[in-house]
């Protein structure tokens, strides 16, 4: 007997090209070693096809009768992990200027969430597909699982093209798509029927991809903005003259020296460009305000923490245990009042930023984050800035995702 597989999602968004389709359009990737060649991916890739034969378990069979384990998008033909067909997926766009700290933030955030989630929140936070998340895993292990705690380790700058991108050929025109990082949240003690699994898709774009004019038909690498359910906007105070001058008395981080700056892009221009792409992709007018949350992640908090004069030092824990409950709850009061302090600091040093952001979204939260908890050091051999794994101590890197999951009703807050 042949049975079609049951996919629980009614609509699927491809994590590579963001094409939306119904499950009956999904392609299978042939498993027979001889069935090679694909119109979009080239002659060395296994052939993609719309399956019509299935085994009793509902798995597609290729034309040679091999069982196909892997599925692909009907538009770009890139592989889609099958967990994306079983449970809903949320997209989050990470936006920020070059060198604002996106890659360091992503690495610290994912490492912390993997380790924290099971015990504190009763979920596992795992790779939906280890191959897809390999680059991020590599960042994490170099920084947080390094046997040499004293070596100076640096994460490389994200390039706007290269091996972080998949190239797809559409009628002779190569188009590049960014490699998604996908996590699955799985409730540990859920009853079978209420299994609350969710997928979280994120991208580590190069800051250059947010520069006005860089969104092109052959590199639509930030078009996740058309689907994202939250925007993490990384604001780097070290790229702002007023912030930098105010920090000189408190820190000797090499980034306070303007000659060390890797980027001189105006961060408001990056934000405005993002809003234009967002509105264009969602058919919104230039004045429409969105309710998609914008979480303003003010990075490198280890350098500017002294500027939050009245805030408690160190920052309090953003989650708390409630007596008698097995997991923690988010402390939204603490997160909100810290947000107010950060907003005031932005108003002091870069007064136009909060108004610009708040005129775009009706749901804005400001979160101070340090991906490293310490300043970089110069590698005596290469001259490059890096961090000693033993010194890393991330601050509040989990809060943006926890807040987003709280909005999605997956993480509860104190009453």
Ligand X SMILES: Nc1nc2c(ncn2[C@@H]2O[C@H](COP(=O)(O)OP(=O)(O)OP(=O)(O)O)[C@@H](O)[C@H]2O)c(=O)[nH]1
Which residues contact ligand X by CB under 6 A?
Answer: 96, 98-104, 155, 157-158, 206-207, 253, 299-300, 302-303, 370-372, 375-376, 385
Closest contact distance (angstroms) between CB of 345 and Mg ion is 24
Q: Which stretch binds Zn ion (CB under 5 A): 18-26, 46-54, 108-116, 301-309?
A: 18-26
158 binds Mg ion (CB under 5 A): yes
5, 12, 13, 16: which one contacts Zn ion (CB under 5 A)?
A: 16
Looking at the Cβ atoms of 14 and 35, the one nearer to Zn ion is 14
The alpha-carbon radius of gyration of the chain (Å, integer) is: 22
CB of 4 to ligand X, least distance (A): 43
In sequence order, the 6+-apart residues with CB closer than 8 A to the CB of 98 are: 157, 206, 207, 208, 262, 263, 265
Which helix (H) or strand (E) covers residue 153, if one does?
none
Beta-carbon contacts of residue 76 (< 8 Å; ≥ 6 apart):
14, 16, 17, 19, 40, 166, 168, 177
Q: Does 103 bind Mg ion (CB under 5 A)?
A: yes
Tell the smallest beta-carbon distance from residue 147 to Zn ion (Å).
39
Judged by beta carbon, residue 182 or residue 238, the one nearer Zn ion is: 182
Residue placing its CB nearer to Mg ion in the complex, 68 or 94: 94
Helix (H, G, I), strand (E, B) or coil at 250: coil
Written as six digits, the tokens of 200 are 């979280």
Which one of ligand X, Mg ion, Zn ion, none is in contact with 237 (Cβ closer than 5 to 8 A by kind)? none
Of the pair 209, 350, the CB lying nearest ligand X is at 209
Select the residue interacting with Zn ion from 5, 12, 13, 17 (CB under 5 A). Answer: 17
Q: Which of 5, 144, 2, 166 is nearest to 78 (CA)?
A: 166
CA distance 355 to 374: 30
- Preceding peptide of 314 cis, ω within 30°: yes
CB of 301 to ligand X, least distance (A): 7
Choose among 395, 343, 393: nearest CA to 369: 395
Please give the full DSSP string across 326-344, using - where no structure is assigned. Answer: SSEEE-HHHHHHHHHHHHH
Residue 79 partner contact from ligand X, Zn ion, Mg ion, none using kind-dependent CB cut-offs of 5 to 8 Å: none
Task: Tell me the C-alpha distance between 295 and 289, whole Å.
Answer: 15
The residue within the footprint of Zn ion, chosen from 29, 35, 73, 238 (CB under 5 A), is: 73
Q: What six digits make up the tokens of 147? A: 């046997």
Residue 188 Cβ vs ligand X, minimum distance, rounded to whole Å: 31
Nearest approach, Cβ of residue 397 and ligand X (Å):
9
* Least distance from ligand X to the Cβ atom of residue 375, Å: 5
**Cα 240 from chain centre:** 24
Q: Which does 372 bind (CB under 5 to 8 A by kind): Zn ion, ligand X, Mg ion, none?
A: ligand X
Question: Taking CB under 5 A as the rule, does residue 72 contact Zn ion?
Answer: no
Contacts of 77 (CB under 8 A, 6+ apart): 27, 38, 39, 40, 41, 45, 48, 168
Interface contacts to Mg ion, rule CB under 5 A: 102-103, 158
Interface contacts to Zn ion, rule CB under 5 A: 14, 16-17, 19, 73, 75-76
């Amino acid at each position: 007997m042949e049975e079609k597989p049951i996919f629980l999602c009614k609509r699927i968004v491809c994590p590579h090209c963001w094409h939306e389709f119904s499950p009956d359009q999904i392609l299978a990737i042939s498993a027979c070693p001889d069935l090679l060649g694909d119109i979009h991916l080239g002659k060395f890739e296994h052939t993609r096809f719309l399956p019509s034969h299935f085994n009793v378990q509902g798995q597609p069979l290729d034309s040679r009768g091999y069982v196909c384990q892997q599925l692909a998008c009907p538009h770009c033909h890139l592989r889609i992990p099958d967990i994306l067909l079983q449970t809903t997926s949320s997209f989050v766009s990470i936006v920020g200027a070059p060198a604002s700290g996106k890659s360091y933030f992503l690495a610290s955030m994912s490492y912390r969430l993997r380790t924290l989630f099971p015990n504190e929140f009763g979920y596992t936070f795992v790779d939906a597909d280890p191959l897809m998340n390999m680059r991020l895993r590599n960042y994490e292990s170099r920084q947080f699982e390094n046997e040499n705690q004293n070596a100076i380790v640096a994460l490389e700058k994200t390039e706007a093209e290269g091996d972080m991108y998949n190239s797809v050929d559409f009628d002779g025109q190569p188009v590049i798509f960014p490699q998604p990082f996908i996590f699955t949240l799985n409730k540990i003690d859920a009853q079978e029927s209420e299994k609350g699994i969710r997928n979280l898709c994120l991208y580590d774009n190069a800051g250059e991809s947010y520069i006005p004019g860089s969104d092109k038909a052959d590199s639509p690498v930030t078009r996740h903005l058309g689907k994202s359910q939250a925007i993490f906007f990384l604001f780097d105070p070290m790229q702002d003259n007023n912030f930098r001058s105010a920090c000189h008395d408190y820190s000797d981080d090499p980034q306070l020296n303007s000659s060390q700056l890797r980027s001189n892009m105006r961060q408001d221009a990056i934000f405005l460009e993002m809003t234009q792409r967002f509105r264009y992709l969602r058919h919104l007018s230039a004045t429409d305000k969105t309710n998609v949350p914008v979480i303003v992640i003010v990075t490198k908090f280890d350098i500017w923490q002294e500027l939050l004069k009245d805030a408690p030092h160190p920052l309090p824990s953003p989650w708390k245990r409630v007596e008698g409950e097995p997991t923690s709850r988010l402390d939204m009061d603490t997160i909100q009042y810290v947000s107010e302090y950060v907003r005031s600091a932005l108003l002091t040093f870069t007064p136009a930023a909060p108004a610009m952001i708040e005129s775009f979204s009706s749901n804005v939260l400001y979160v101070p984050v340090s991906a490293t908890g310490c300043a970089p050091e110069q590698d005596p051999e290469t001259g490059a800035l890096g961090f000693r794994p033993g010194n890393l101590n991330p601050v509040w890197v989990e809060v943006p995702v926890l807040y987003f999951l709280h909005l999605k009703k997956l993480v509860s807050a104190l009453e």
